[in-house]
Structure 1
Amino acid sequence: MGPRNTGSEGGNSVRAYELMVIHDGELDDVQVQEELKDLRSRIEEVGTVADFDFWGRRRFAYEIDHKTEGYYSVIELTAEGGAMDPVERALRIADNVVRHKLIRLPEDEAARRGLLTSSAD
């Protein structure tokens, strides 16, 4: 037998995620805000945005795709397992996204941040 999903009740339970996105530093402020607005609406189609933290334009420690600066954003969100796949796919092929990283937060960290309610009855 292969590995099994041992998630709660076998269904797609709500999970907490943190998404960091770096947009191309050559964009102007209006373009970046439009990109972020589109990203937020994509996320809200499949989940709930808990916090949207725009860090602004930052210099990279090293060149990425011949670029030296980018606009950083960190988003805390909740969504069902697998629901973020289309969002991640869109970020992967977007021309204005230099890098992105989606991580699933451990349940204790998600609870500490107030993203998930305790499942204890």
Structure 2
Amino acid sequence: MIIIDQDVDDVVGKGIITKAKEMIEAEGGTVPTVDHWGRRRFAYQINHKSEGVYSVLEIVTQAPNLDEIDRFLRLADEVVRHKIYRLPDSEATKRGLLTPAS
């Protein structure tokens, strides 16, 4: 999940998502879905902001490949917060992200 600053232009915000997707694909991973949730209100203020633009990316890659994308998102001024979750294998298989082991 990536939360972009509410004051950032839409083109710049989509550019951050595109750059993240390109970085994952360059490392041999895939991004099967990108779900844009749009502008949402925070439960509490973050950096004196009350809203952000949410996007959720489903990523299929090896764990060491996430280090570079994590660093990029931490350093990007436009990104308010980001979080990388690992789905349990059963859930990833159900969503079609993993093939079942034989």
Q: Report the TM range for the smaller structure's normalisation.
A: over 0.9
Return the structure number with greater helix share: 2
Paired positions, count: 101
1:42 aligns with 2:23: yes
- 1:110 Cα deviation after fit: 0.4
Runs (4 or more) in structure 1 with deviation over 4 Å come to none
| 1:110 maps to amino acid | A
TM-score, normalized by length of structure 2? 0.93
The alignment yields a C-alpha RMSD, in angstroms, of 1.0
2:76 to 77, 94, 98: 94
- 1:81 Cα deviation after fit: 2.3
1:119 aligns with 2:80: no
- 1:82 Cα deviation after fit: 1.3
CA distance in 2, matches of 1:93, 1:28: 18
Gaps of 5+ in 2: none
CA distance in 1, matches of 2:37, 2:86: 21
CA distance in 2, matches of 1:109, 1:42: 24
Match of 1:62 in 2: 44
Provide, for residues 67-113 of structure 1, a one-character-per-residue CA deviation record: whole Å limited to 9, x for no partner.
11111000111001211111001111111110000011110010011
1:21 aligns with 2:2: yes
Gaps of 5+ in 1: 1-19
